[in-house]
């Protein structure tokens, strides 16, 4: 039996204030895969995520997430780790409240003891139990990223979306992050979506790659999608320039 | 303290202080967190429009003032959501508009307009049974709306995250503006137009300095709001001072003590 796609899109385009943000994105991917969305800055990667999350409606085309309109999705099915942590720095919040909000989808007024255990379990997946009880504002960039990951991990998602998760990861280690994500996919059979501009990461960690620069350049397995020709079309330079860990588009 | 309550007007005043102290300081947390203190000030001033219209038509002001306040509050919310303008700009426009209408209505009234000063500076003696029923009803409304706390708090923490979790933040904003408008009307008679904004800000601001979670900020704000209102009322009776102003000065004293204590603690 053919697996139903977790995400299916037909020629979705997005225009905002008369500017084209995304053009004809065609995507079909089942659960239990690791998809990297790759493209230079301003390629529309984050906007595509917002469409998948149902926060932005495409101007044309059709998209189905788990067989439904994005707006009709149940929030617990999709975990999301935003790139920019845009929360209000004046809001008094502790890590356990933020992590639990990933499950309750509300800000918790008080936390029951079994909920405390769930939060601790989510943190322990990231070897970060020591972050429990800390004020969100005291955290470093890397610690904050781990708390947001724990927030996504607190429930078994069908789709887990991470927007540039390696940004700000310092003490944690990037390779650990991809190992954790890979483990997560194996245990939950979720579709893990990684937004990145790092070609090496996309090439080595994903099962599928979507290469975009406003338009869809290519979609498929990493080796074919990230061919020299395709990369040149997306980034305007060849992959060799990308070696040595130096990111041209940081 | 007990003998004071033998006077019916003082008993009414005490109940009013307990209710508005608690309710306003509950909402004060959201006002402080969302940087909406100018909204409180704007809504208070726009009440002048309703008060003046009621005085001119010689009818009970409560209903007209509520209508004015709710209209201005929702208009501000709508303008902020549907134009490129920032909230402070739309507050500035609508509150001046309502105040200007108030001044015109007052000028149309041929009789003495002394009643208007009650609303400018507040008077605890003017609190009637109907005001207490209104306060009680509003208290009940906020208790029924308590599930909104988790939604307003979530959107206050991170709007995008709340939206991704299917919280309809725009509708929730309208709801918050609606209850704020009613809260302003509720506090109007005791505090007066001029002092009202502070009453909606100081408890939340004081609580913020001594809270690590929004839950504790909310609870501490309510305690500060009730204690300062009742304490202020008592002091105003003992020393024969205007009650609204005394309540605000008690709150300000609490705020200053907390701010200085926290500063001293940090430097140690």
Report yes or no on A227 lying in a domain: yes
| Nearest Cα residue in chain B from A49 | B164
Provide, for chain B, the percentages of residues in helix, strand and coil under a 3-state DSSP scheme, each rounded to the nearest 5. Answer: 85, 0, 15
Report yes or no on A115 lying in a domain: yes
- Rounded to a whole number, what is the distance in Å from the CA of A166 to chain B's nearest CA? 19
Buried b / exposed e over B53-64, threshold 16 CB at 10 Å, is: bbbbeeeebbeb
Which residue did the predictor score with more confidence, B211 or B122? B211
Give B126: exposed, middle or buried? Use CB within 10 Å, 0-12, 13-18, 19+. Answer: middle
Q: Quick one: average pLDDT of B80-97?
A: 90
Query: Among residues of chain B, what percentage have pLDDT more than 70?
Result: 98
What pTM does this model have? 0.88
Parallel, antiparallel or unpaired: strands A159-163 and A191-196? parallel
| Nearest Cα residue in chain A from B31 | A91
ipTM value greater than 0.90: no
Q: Report pLDDT for A242.
A: 46
Q: Report pLDDT for B118.
A: 79
Is residue B1 very low, low, confident or very high in pLDDT (cuts 50, 70, 90)? low
Report yes or no on A22 lying in a domain: yes
Give the whole-angstrom CA distance, residue A44 versus residue A21: 6
Is residue A241 very low, low, confident or very high in pLDDT (cuts 50, 70, 90)? very low
Closest Cβ opposite residue A105 in set B159, B165, B214: B165
Q: Is B168 on the interface with A (CB under 8 A)?
A: no
Which residue did the predictor score with more confidence, B194 or A175? B194
Is residue A168 very low, low, confident or very high in pLDDT (cuts 50, 70, 90)? low
Instruction: Describe the crossing of helices B202-209 and B243-267 by its angle, rounded to 10 degrees.
Output: 20
Q: Report pLDDT for B58.
A: 84
CB contacts, 8 Å: B167 with chain A: 105-106
Please report the residues numbered 64 through 123 in chain B whose beta carbons come closer than 8 angstroms to any beta carbon of chain A: none
Cβ–Cβ gap B212/A101 under 8 Å? no
Q: Report pLDDT for A143.
A: 87
User: Residue A75 region, left (φ>0) first, then alpha (ψ -120 to 50), else beta?
Assistant: alpha
Please report the residues numbered 61 through 90 in chain A whose beta carbons come closer than 8 angstroms to any beta carbon of chain B: 73, 75, 78, 80, 82, 86-88, 90
Number of structural domains, chain A? 1
**Average pLDDT score, chain A:** 86
Number of inter-chain CB pairs under 8 A, A vs B: 74
Contact of B156 with B167, CB cutoff 8 Å: no
Report yes or no on A127 lying in a domain: yes
CATH code, domain with A29: 3.40.50.300
Q: Report pLDDT for A200.
A: 86
Report yes or no on A120 lying in a domain: yes
CATH homologous superfamily of B2-267 equals: ABC transporter involved in vitamin B12 uptake, BtuC (1.10.3470.10)
pLDDT tens digits along B112-155: 666 777 788 888 878 888 889 999 999 999 999 999 999 999 99
Q: Report pLDDT for A238.
A: 56
Closest Cβ opposite residue A90 in set B33, B151, B159: B33
Please report the residues numbered 168 through 207 in chain A whose beta carbons come closer than 8 angstroms to any beta carbon of chain B: none
Q: Report pLDDT for A117.
A: 96
pLDDT tens digits along A223-240: 888 888 888 888 886 554
**B52, two tokens:** 């003046």
Q: Domain containing A207: what range?
A: 5-242
Give bridge partners of residue A62 from the DSSP assignment: A10
Q: Look-up: residue for tokens 């008369």?
A: A18
Cβ–Cβ gap A86/B160 under 8 Å? yes
Q: Report pLDDT for A113.
A: 95
pLDDT tens digits along B175-205: 999 999 999 999 988 888 889 999 999 999 9
Report yes or no on A82 lying in a domain: yes
Q: Report pLDDT for A244.
A: 41
Cβ–Cβ gap A87/B214 under 8 Å? no
Give the whole-angstrom CA distance, residue A184 versus residue B16: 56
């Amino acid at each position: 039996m053919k697996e139903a796609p977790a995400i299916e899109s037909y020629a979705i385009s997005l225009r905002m204030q008369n500017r084209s943000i995304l053009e004809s994105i065609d995507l079909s991917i089942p659960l239990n895969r690791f998809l990297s969305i790759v493209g230079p800055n301003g390629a529309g990667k984050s906007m595509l995520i917002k469409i998948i999350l149902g926060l932005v409606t495409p101007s044309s085309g059709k998209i189905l997430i788990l067989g439904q309109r994005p707006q009709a999705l149940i929030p617990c099915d999709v975990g999301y780790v935003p790139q920019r942590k845009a929360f209000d720095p004046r809001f008094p919040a502790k890590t356990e409240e933020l992590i639990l909000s990933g499950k309750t989808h509300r800000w918790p007024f008080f936390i029951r003891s079994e909920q405390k255990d769930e939060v601790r379990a989510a943190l322990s997946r990231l070897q970060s139990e020591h972050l429990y009880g800390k004020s969100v504002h005291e955290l470093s960039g890397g610690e904050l990223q781990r708390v947001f990951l724990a927030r996504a991990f607190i429930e078994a998602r069908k789709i887990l979306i991470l927007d540039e998760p390696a940004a700000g990861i310092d003490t944690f280690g990037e390779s650990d992050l991809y190992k954790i994500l890979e483990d997560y996919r194996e245990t939950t059979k979720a579709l893990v979506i990684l937004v990145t501009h790092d070609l090496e990461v996309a090439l080595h960690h994903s099962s599928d790659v979507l290469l975009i620069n406003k338009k869809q350049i290519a979609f498929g397995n990493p080796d074919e999608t990230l061919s020299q020709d395709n990369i040149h079309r997306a980034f305007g330079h060849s992959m060799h320039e990308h070696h040595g860990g130096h990111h041209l588009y940081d | 303290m007990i003998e004071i309550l033998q006077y019916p007007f003082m008993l009414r005043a005490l109940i009013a202080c307990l209710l508005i102290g608690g309710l306003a300081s509950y909402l004060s947390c959201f006002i402080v967190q969302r940087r909406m203190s100018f909204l409180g000030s704007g809504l208070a001033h726009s009440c002048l429009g309703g008060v003046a219209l009621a005085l001119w038509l010689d009818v009970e002001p409560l209903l007209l003032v509520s209508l004015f306040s709710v209209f201005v509050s929702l208009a501000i919310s709508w303008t902020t959501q549907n134009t490129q303008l920032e909230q402070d700009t739309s507050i500035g426009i609508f509150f001046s508009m309502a105040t200007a209408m108030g001044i015109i209505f007052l000028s149309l009234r041929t009789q003495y307009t002394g009643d208007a000063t009650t609303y400018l500076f507040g008077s605890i003696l003017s609190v009637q049974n109907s005001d207490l029923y209104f306060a009680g009803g509003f208290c009940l409304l906020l208790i029924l709306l308590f599930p909104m706390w988790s939604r307003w708090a979530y959107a206050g923490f991170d709007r995008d995250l709340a939206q991704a979790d299917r919280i309809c933040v725009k509708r929730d904003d309208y709801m918050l503006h609606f209850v704020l408008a009613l809260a302003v009307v509720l506090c109007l008679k005791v505090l007066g137009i001029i002092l009202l904004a502070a009453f909606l800000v100081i408890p939340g601001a004081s609580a913020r300095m001594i809270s690590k979670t929004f839950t504790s900020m909310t609870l501490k704000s309510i305690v500060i709001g009730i204690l300062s209102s009742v304490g202020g009322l008592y002091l105003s009776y003992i020393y024969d001072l205007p009650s609204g102003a005394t309540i605000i000065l008690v709150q300000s004293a609490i705020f200053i003590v907390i701010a200085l204590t926290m500063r001293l603690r940090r430097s140690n």
